[in-house]
C-alpha cells in the first residue's frame, strides 16, 4: 500500500490528539501545584516550574494545532479523490474542526498570559487544556461507534 495523503492525514490527526493529551496532563499538573498547599510554599522553585509548564503547554498546543490543521487539509485532499468533494460537514469533520477552534482559542489565551502576566489567564488556559479532552473522546469513540458516517475508521 502506498503512503497517501489519507494515511498522512490519519497519522497527523492521532499525533495531534497525543499532543493535546500531553497539554492536558501539563495543565492538570499546573493546577495541582497551584492548589496543593505544601507545593505553594516552595515559592522560588514553584514559580520556575510553573513558568516551564506553561511554556511547554504552549508548545504542545502549537504542535497539536499544526498537526491537526495539516491533517485536516490533507484529509480534504484525500476526501476529494475518494468521495469527490473536499469537505462535507459530516460529524467527524465538524467535531475535528470544532476541536481545532477550541484548542486555538486555548493556545491564544495561554499566549496572552505571556504578554499580560495574570494568574487568571494561566489557570483558565490550563483548565481549558483539560476541558478539550471530551471533544477528542467524542471524535474517537462516539463518532466511530455510534454515528453513521462515511468517516469511520474502526
Residue 153 included in any domain:
no
Q: What is the DSSP string of 66-80?
A: HHHHHHHHHHHHHHH
63 contact partners, CB below 8 Å, separation of at least 6: 16, 19
Residue 32 included in any domain:
yes
pLDDT of res. 105 = 93
Mean pLDDT value of segment 64-74: 93
Spatial contact of 88 and 40, defined as CB atoms under 8 Å apart: no
Residue 152 included in any domain:
no
Residue among 100, 124, 142 nearest 16 (CA) = 100
What average pLDDT is seen over the chain? 83
- Of the pLDDT bands very low, low, confident and very high (cuts 50, 70, 90), residue 93 is confident
pLDDT, tens only, 7-66: 888 889 999 999 999 999 998 988 888 887 776 676 666 677 777 888 888 899 999 999
What residue numbers bound the domain in which 85 lies?
Answer: 5-146
- Of the pLDDT bands very low, low, confident and very high (cuts 50, 70, 90), residue 111 is confident
Residue 154 included in any domain:
no
Residue 88: burial class (beta carbons within 10 Å; 0-12, 13-18, 19+) = middle
pLDDT of res. 125 = 86
Q: Range with the lowest mean pLDDT among 2-16, 32-46, 64-78, 110-124? A: 32-46
Domain count, the chain: 1
Amino acid at each position: 500500500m502506498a503512503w497517501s495523503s489519507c494515511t498522512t492525514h490519519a497519522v497527523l490527526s492521532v499525533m495531534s490528539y497525543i499532543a493535546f493529551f500531553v497539554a492536558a496532563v501539563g495543565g492538570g499538573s499546573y493546577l495541582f501545584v497551584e492548589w496543593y498547599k505544601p507545593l505553594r510554599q516552595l515559592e522560588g522553585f514553584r514559580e520556575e516550574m510553573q513558568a516551564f509548564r506553561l511554556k511547554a503547554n504552549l508548545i504542545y498546543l502549537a504542535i497539536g494545532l499544526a498537526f491537526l490543521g495539516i491533517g485536516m487539509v490533507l484529509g480534504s485532499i484525500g476526501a476529494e479523490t475518494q468521495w469527490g468533494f473536499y469537505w462535507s460537514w459530516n460529524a467527524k469533520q465538524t467535531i475535528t474542526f470544532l476541536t481545532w477552534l477550541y484548542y486555538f482559542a486555548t493556545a491564544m489565551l495561554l499566549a496572552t498570559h505571556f504578554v499580560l502576566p495574570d494568574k487568571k489567564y494561566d489557570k483558565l488556559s490550563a483548565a481549558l487544556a483539560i476541558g478539550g479532552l471530551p471533544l477528542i473522546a467524542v471524535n474517537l469513540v462516539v463518532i466511530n461507534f455510534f454515528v453513521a458516517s462515511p468517516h469511520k475508521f474502526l
